[in-house]
């Protein structure tokens, strides 16, 4: 048995006929891949499964996955009728604000299972399985399906590989273990196309996005003493590229963690006037989540985020740098 919760979860699933799954707000390839794999597994068991997402759209990067078209987007959790379902499962969702799209307290009146791998994970459920050593929820599910005795097919393998490739920067992040690679190897044996997944997630860029990156890069600065890089993008600049899908997350993943002589980097983007979101990416085992926690956000050691509301672009930038310098070590 890989996880002692596996049997508890399977027991609940066996007793339910209609099951609701949730893709977290702004779902990424792990959020979508893991959820759609579970949809396929549950449907093979004869369950009626619906997948919802609070965001108005989900990334097209993974539109090749079976079930992608069935995701019901733009769900308002306050109005949603949970009574039609017997079980609610949310994956890759570390906190309430990622579960729903609003800053309200919310608890669905339904038995809830949470499966997650975030370093800081506060969302509660009636059953919660948390493995912060796993690269992705896809990796956790691979082990859970083994515990359940499920035989994976190509479509399920493609979902799980998408999760892992998406949450590891195509197997490059330090969170990848030899076990991750063994799982990837098995998924490829089942027919999942690694090259297609990597091309879809990392090499299918809109040309306009490249032009936007040049603006991020031209603003990038380095603190050599404290070993980090950063770029702050004001609203006037952001709005020129703001319609581009995932431009913010992509810029930070691409440029924040790659500079020689640094431990981490971050990109702060003023998405609306006086509303800045900041995405951190680690290059070494530096814990960026300690910084984002102090800024009121959260996430993983290697990738974390926070937002600052109500301050001008200059004041927000100053505040972020003050906190960052407190945590960044002088070399």
The tokens 């709005």 sit on which residue? 239
Shortest spacing between CB 92 and Mn ion, in angstroms? 4
- 160-179 positions binding Mn ion, by CB under 5 A: 167
Q: Which of 13, 62, 67, 92 is close enough to bind Mn ion by CB under 5 A? A: 92
Which of 27/52 has CB closer to Mn ion? Answer: 27
Q: Where are the alpha helices (H) located in the chain, listed in sequence order?
A: 5-15, 29-44, 96-99, 137-148, 154-167, 178-189, 194-202, 207-218, 235-241, 247-255, 289-294, 313-327
User: Using CA atoms, how far apart are residues 126 and 46, in angstroms rounded to an integer?
Assistant: 23
* Of the candidate residues 6, 9, 29, 30, the single one contacting Mn ion (CB under 5 A): 30
**Can you read off the two tokens belonging to residue 237?**
């600049």
**With respect to Mn ion, which residue has the nearer C-beta, 132 or 240?**
132
Per-residue exposure over 283-321, b if at least 16 CB sit within 10 Å of its own CB, e if not: beebbbbebbbebebbbbbbbbbbbbeebebeebbebbb
| Helix residue ranges per DSSP H, 168-259 | 178-189, 194-202, 207-218, 235-241, 247-255
Question: Judged by CB under 5 A, which stretch of 23-31, 57-65, 127-135, 323-331 contacts Mn ion?
Answer: 23-31
Residues 298-327 that bind Mn ion (CB under 5 A): none
Position closest to Mn ion via CB: 30
Residues 185-204, mask of contacts with Mn ion (x by CB under 5 A): --------------------
Q: Residue 101 or 167: which CB sits closer to Mn ion?
A: 167
Closest CA to 54 of 83, 87, 96: 96
CB nearer Mn ion, residue 117 or residue 227: 117
Alpha-carbon dihedral of residues 114, 32, 15, 117, nearest 10 degrees? -30
Which region, judged by CB under 5 A, interacts with Mn ion, from 4-12, 136-144, 291-299, 301-309? Answer: 136-144
Residue 130 CB neighbours (<10 A): 16
Of the candidate spans 29-37, 61-69, 121-129, 196-204, the one that interacts with Mn ion by CB under 5 A turns out to be 29-37
> How far apart are CB 139 and Mn ion at their closest, in Å?
9
Q: How many other C-beta atoms can be found within 10 angstroms of the C-beta atom of residue 11? A: 10
Residue 139 binds to Mn ion (criterion: CB under 5 A): no
Number of shown-chain residues binding Mn ion (CB under 5 A): 4
Pick the piece of the chain touching Mn ion (CB under 5 A) from 15-23, 48-56, 89-97, 252-260. 89-97
Residues at the site binding Mn ion, with contacts judged by CB under 5 A: 30, 92, 136, 167
């Amino acid at each position: 048995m890989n996880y002692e919760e596996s049997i508890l979860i399977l027991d609940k699933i066996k007793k339910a006929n209609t099951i609701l799954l949730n893709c977290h707000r702004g779902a990424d390839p792990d959020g979508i891949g893991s959820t759609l794999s579970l949809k396929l597994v549950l449907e093979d068991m004869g369950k009626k499964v619906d997948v919802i997402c609070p965001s108005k759209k989900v990334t097209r990067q993974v539109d090749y996955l079976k079930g992608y078209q069935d995701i019901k987007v733009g769900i308002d959790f306050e109005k949603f009728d949970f009574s039609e379902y017997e079980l609610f499962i949310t994956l890759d969702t570390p906190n309430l604000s990622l579960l729903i799209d609003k800053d309200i307290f919310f608890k669905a009146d339904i038995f809830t299972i949470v499966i997650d791998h975030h370093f800081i994970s506060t969302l509660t459920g009636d059953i919660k399985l948390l493995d912060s050593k796993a690269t992705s929820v896809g990796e956790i599910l691979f082990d859970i399906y083994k515990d359940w005795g499920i035989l994976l097919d190509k479509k399920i393998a493609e979902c799980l590989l998408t999760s892992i490739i998406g949450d590891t920067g195509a197997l490059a992040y330090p969170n990848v273990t030899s076990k991750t690679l063994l799982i990837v190897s098995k998924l490829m044996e089942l027919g999942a196309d690694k090259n297609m997944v990597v091309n879809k997630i990392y090499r299918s860029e809109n040309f306009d996005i490249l032009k936007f990156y040049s603006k991020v890069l031209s603003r990038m600065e380095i603190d050599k003493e404290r070993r980090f890089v950063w770029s702050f993008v004001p609203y006037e600049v952001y709005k020129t590229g703001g319609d581009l899908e995932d431009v913010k997350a992509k810029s930070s993943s691409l440029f924040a963690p790659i500079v020689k002589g640094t431990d981490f980097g971050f990109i702060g983007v003023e998405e609306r006037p006086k509303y800045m979101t900041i995405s951190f990416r680690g290059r070494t085992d530096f814990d960026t989540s300690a910084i984002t926690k102090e800024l009121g956000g959260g996430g993983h050691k290697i990738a974390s985020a926070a937002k600052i509301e109500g301050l001008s672009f200059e004041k927000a930038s100053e505040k972020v740098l003050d906190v960052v310098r407190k945590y960044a070590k002088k070399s």
